[in-house]
A and B are shown apart, each in its own frame.
Chain A
Amino acid sequence: MDLAPLLPFIAAVVDAWSRRGVGAIASALAVIALTGLGDRLLDLLNFVFLLTAVYSLWYMKNAERAGWYWAWLDAFYGSMLLFLTSNNWLWALAGWGGLDASSWALILTYKDGDELGAVGDGRAGRFARWLWMPSDSALRAIATVELGTAALAVGMAIAAAQYGPEISSWRALQPAAAFLIMLAAFVKSAQLPFTDWLMTAMSAPTPVSALLHSATMVAAGPILLVRLHQALEPYWAYAFIVGLITAAYGGLIALWQREPKILLAASTASYLGLATAFSVSSPAAATSLIVAHGFAKASLFMAVGEAVHERGTRFPEGYSLPAKAAMALSLATLLGFTPAGAEAKGLMPEWELAFSALTAGYIGRLVLGARTEGGLTPLSAIALIAAALALSGPPSAPDLLWSAALAGLALYKPPRLEAMERRLYLPELFAAAGRALAVVAVAVGRLDLRLDRALLRAPSAWLALSRGIAGLDKAVDDALHVGLVEAVKKLSSRLASIDVQVYAYAAGASVLAVFVALMLL
C-alpha cells in the first residue's frame, strides 16, 4: 500500500485529539505533494477535500462533536484515496467500506433534536413520518449502502478468483460477478431504487455533503464502473438504463424540493445517474462529468451552507451575492460554459441538453428564487474558489447550442405537485421495505423463542423420565430386597411351623417310593 492513503488516517488520530482540522489540511497538502498533479480524479479529491477542510474551520468552529467530525472527515478522505489508488481488490474494497463507515459516522455529527441535523417537514406518511433525525438518517444510509458493499465483496471475490487480485487485469466478468459489482456501484451512487438514503444523508453538516456529493462516496460508484469498463462491456446497457432513469428522476424531483440541500442531493443523484449511464459505454465522458460535477457540486453545497450556517436554518430564504456568484459559476460548469464543463459536455450526446435544462431550473430556483443578502464571508469565498476550479482545465469553446439549456431557468418556479415534492413516495417504499425486514426478524425471533421454551421444558421431561426410572428402580429394589426377603421369611416360618413327624413321615414315604421305583425298574 502507498504511503499517501495512510496519511489521512494518521491525521484522523491527531484531529480526534486536537479537535481542530490541522491534521486534515496538513494531510491534504502532504498527499498533493506526494501524488503530484495530473490525475484528474485524484486532483478533484485532493482539492475538494482541502477546500472542505478549510471551509470546516469556520463552519464547525463551535461544533460540539468537533473531534468526532474531524477524525471521520479525515478517514473519509483516506478511504477514498485508498479506493482510488489501489489496484489490489482487497484494498479497494477496504476503501469502499471505509467510505460507508465514515459517511455513517459523519451523518451522526449533529445530535438528534438539532435543527440543522433534521431532514423533512414532519408530515405523516403511510409508512413513515417525514422527519428524519441524524440517527434515523445514519441508519437509513448504512442499511442501504451495505447492500452494495456486501455485493462488492462477493462480486469482486468471484472476479479475483478468476483473474487474480489486480483489478486492472480483470477482463470479461461472469454474469454473477458483473451483477454484484454493478449493484454495488448503483447503491453507492444512489441509483434507483437505492436513492433515498442520499436525501436523508443531508442530516450531516453541509461540508460533509460538499465532499460526499462531489469527490467521495457517491462518486465511487461510477468510478468503479469506469475502472472496470472493459470487464463490464457486455453489460453496459444495464448501467445506461438505470443511470438514465435515475438522472431523470433526480433532475425532476429536484425542481420541487423545498430544502435547498435536498434539492442539491436530488441533483447529485441525477448527475451521478448520467455518469453511471456513460461509465461503461463511454468512460472518458463519465470521468469528465464526474470531475466537472464534483467541482460544481462542492461549490453549490458550500454556497448554500453559508446561509444555513449564518442563519441557523435548513430553509434559508436568501443567499449572499458571492454565494450566488458561486452558484452561477457552478451552473455554468454544469451547462458546459467552463473548461471542465465544456470537456464533459463535448463528450456526451446532444440529448443530454434536457438534463442541463432541468439543472438550470433547479439551480435557478436557488439563484433567482431567493433573496440576495449579505456580503463576502470566508465560506462564500471558499465556495467561489471551488467553483473557479472548474476553470482550470484545458480551454475549449462551448457549443452555442448548449445555451439553449438556459431556457430551463423558466422552471425555477414550478407549480405545486405533491407527488414530486414527496419524491414520488420513494421514502414510503423505503420505510415499507424496512418494516418488511422487521417482520422477518420478529418472526425468526418468535420461532427461536418457541424452540428455546421447548428446550427449557426439557429438564421437566428429563425429571419425569428420571422419576419414572427411579420408580421402576425402587419397584425392583423393593421386590428384591423387601418382597423376596418377606416371601422367603414367610415360607421359612411356614415350614418351621410344621411338626417334625410330618417331615419324618414324608422322608420315609419318599425313601419307600424311591425303593419301589428302583425295584420296578
Chain B
Amino acid sequence: MIEAVVLAASVFLAVLGLRLGLAPSLASIALTLLLLGRRLELGALPYVGPAMLDFGGYAGVFVAATALLGLAVLVYSKEYAEHRGLGNWFYGVMALYVIALELIPAFDNLIYVFVAMESAVVTSFLLIYYFGYGDRARIGVMYFLWSQIGSIAFLIGVALSGRYAPPYYLPFLPAALAIFGLLVKMGTAGVHFWLPYAHAEAPTPLSALLSPIHVGLMSYWLLALLPRTPLPANAIAIYGAITAVYGSLLVFRESDIKRALADSTIANMGLLAAAAALGDKEAVVLLFVGHALAKAAMFMVSGIGITTQNERRLGRLRLDPWSFVGSALGLVALAGVFGITLLGKAYLALSSPPPLAPLLYVALFATAVYNFWLFDKLYKAGKASATPPLAMALPMLLASIAPYALLFAPWI
C-alpha cells in the first residue's frame, strides 16, 4: 500500500512542479527512489487482466538508472532552463517524463507497458514541441508520428497475442509486430531516421534522457519478449550488429555535436538490440547503464556549450577544462575502451555464436573509434574561456566518472 502512496505522491509533486518548478519536480523523482526494490499489485482489470509494478530485481536496475540520471539531469537543467528562458512547467513535465520512463520496465502487463510508453512519448513530445530548437514543431510532430508507428505496432502485436501478463507468448505475426514496434522506438537501422532530428532538436536536458534512457529501455522489453517468440534471434542479433556499424559511420557526417551524439545512439542501440536478441542479461544491463551515463554526460557537455557559448557546431564548440575532462571520460566510456561498457561488450561477445564473430568485431571497433574522432573535433576547436556553472559541471562530471566507478562496484 505504501508503494501506491509513494507513487501517487511523486506524481502529485510532479504535477505541482508544473506550477512551482524545480524543487517539487526534484522531490518527485527523488521520492521514486524509495520504490526501488518494492512491488505493487494492481489487481485485475476486465480484458487486461492482473498487473504488477516491480521496482526490484532486474527491472530495478533500469528503474534506478533512470531515476538517478533523471535527478542529475534535472539539477543540471536549472541553468540551462534559465539561459533559454523556459517556463516553470518545463520541470514538471520533465519529472512526469522520468516517472513514465521508470514505469516502462516496472510494469509486467504489456498493456500497461504500452500506456507507460505513450505517457513518455506525450511528455517528451510536449518538451520538444514547446522547448526544442530549430523547426521544433515539425520535428516534434515527426517524433510523435514515428513513436506512434512503434507504439501502435507494439500494441497490436501484444493485443493479437492475448497474453499480456507473464508468462508471455507471442506467435509469429504478433511477435513480428511487437518487436518491430520496439525496434522503431529504439531507432535501429532503417527505422532510425527520426532519431537524429528528435534527439538533436530536443531541449538538451531532455536529449540527455531521451537518447540514452528512453530508447534504451526498449531493450529491456526486447530481452524479455524475444525468447517468448518464434522470431529468429540470431538474425536480429546480426541486424543489431549491422546497426552498430551503420550508426557509427553516420557520426562522421555530422557537423553538430548533438546530431553526432544522436547517431552514436543509433550505433549503441544496435549493440543493445544484439545483446537482447542473444538473451544476454548481463550485456544488456551493462551496455544500457554504460551508454546511459556516458551519453548523458556528453549531452550535458553540449548543453554547457550552448549555455556558455551559444554554440553546438563541431569545430566551433570549445571545451572549458571541466568539459574537457568530462568529454574525455565520457567518450572513452562511450567507446567501451574502459569502464562498464567494455565489460558489456565483452559479455556480448561471450554470448555471440562464433559465426557472428567477424561482424561483431567490426561492430565493436566501429562503436569505439568514432568517439575519438568526435573528441578530436572538440579538442581542435581550442579552449573555452567561459567557466560552466557548478550546477551544470558537477552532474556532467559525475555522469562521466560513474561508468568507471561502477567497474569497481562489488556487485560488478
Contact = CB atoms under 8 A, between A and B. Distances in A.
Interface in A63-85: 68, 79
A153 B364 contact: yes
B365 A455 contact: no
B346 A151 contact: no
A442 B361 contact: no
Nearest to B253: A445
A104 B372 contact: yes
B350 A147 contact: no
A104 B372 CA distance: 9
Contacts of A444: 246, 249-250, 253
A182 to B, nearest CB: 14
B376 A139 contact: yes
B253 A158 contact: no
Contact of B357 (A90, A101, A135, A176): A176
Contacts, number: 111
Contacts of B336: 97
Nearest to B350: A157
B276 interface: no
B193 A455 contact: yes
Interface in A83-126: 89-90, 93-94, 97-98, 100-101, 104-105, 108, 112
B360 interface: yes
B369 interface: yes
Interface string A123-158: 000000000000100110011001101110110111
A160 interface: yes
A150 B408 contact: no
Contact of A93 (B253, B335, B342, B357): B342
Interface residues of A, number: 48
B257 interface: no
A452 interface: yes
Contacts of B369: 142-143, 146
Given A153-B345, A455-B193, A158 B368 contact: no
A1 B193 CA distance: 43
Interface string B360-393: 1110110011001100100110000000000000
Given A105-B328, A112-B380, A440-B249, A98 B350 contact: no
A108 B383 CA distance: 14
A417 interface: no
A348 interface: no
A101 B345 CA distance: 16
Contacts of A147: 365
Given A143-B372, A445-B249, A100 B346 contact: no
A107 to B, nearest CB: 11
Given A138-B372, A157-B350, A157-B352, A101 B252 contact: no
A441 B252 contact: yes
A161 interface: yes
A154 B253 contact: no
Contact of A149 (B250, B368, B407): B368
A22 to B, nearest CB: 20
B354 interface: yes
A451 B189 CA distance: 11
B412 to A, nearest CB: 10
B192 to A, nearest CB: 9
B357 A146 contact: no
Interface in A432-470: 438, 440-442, 444-445, 448-449, 451-452, 455
Contacts of A396: none
Given A93-B342, A452-B193, A442 B252 contact: yes
B122 interface: no
A174 interface: yes
B51 interface: no
B338 A97 contact: yes
B399 interface: no
B268 to A, nearest CB: 15
B361 A154 contact: yes
A59 interface: no
Nearest to B342: A97
A55 interface: no
A112 B380 CA distance: 8
A135 B354 contact: no
A100 B338 contact: yes
B349 interface: yes
Nearest to A79: B338
B231 interface: no
A15 B316 CA distance: 31
Contacts of A367: none
B343 interface: yes
A135 B249 contact: no
Contacts of A445: 249-250, 252-253
A180 interface: yes
B346 A153 contact: yes
B372 A142 contact: yes
Given A100-B338, A143-B369, A150-B368, A157 B332 contact: no
A451 B194 CA distance: 12
Contacts of B354: 158, 174, 176
A9 interface: yes
Contacts of A89: 346
Nearest to A448: B250
Contacts of A142: 337, 369, 372
B407 A157 contact: no
B51 to A, nearest CB: 36
A151 B408 CA distance: 24
A93 B347 CA distance: 11
A90 B349 contact: no
B394 interface: no
Contacts of B23: none
A135 B364 contact: no
A154 to B, nearest CB: 5
Contacts of A146: 335, 337, 365, 368-369
Given A149-B337, A448-B253, 13 more contacts: A9-B404, A90-B346, A94-B407, A98-B337, A100-B338, A135-B376, A146-B369, A149-B368, A153-B364, A156-B346, A158-B349, A161-B350, A441-B249
Interface of B: 193, 246, 249-250, 252-253, 325, 328, 332, 335-338, 342-343, 345-346, 349-350, 352, 354, 357, 360-362, 364-365, 368-369, 372-373, 376, 379-380, 404, 407-408
14 contacts: A9-B404, A68-B325, A101-B332, A135-B379, A142-B369, A150-B365, A151-B361, A154-B364, A156-B349, A157-B350, A157-B352, A158-B354, A158-B357, A445-B253
Interface of A: 1, 6, 9, 68, 79, 89-90, 93-94, 97-98, 100-101, 104-105, 108, 112, 135, 138-139, 142-143, 146-147, 149-151, 153-154, 156-158, 160-161, 174, 176, 180, 438, 440-442, 444-445, 448-449, 451-452, 455
Top 8 nearest A-B pairs by Cβ distance? A445-B253, A157-B349, A441-B252, A150-B364, A150-B365, A444-B249, A157-B350, A101-B338
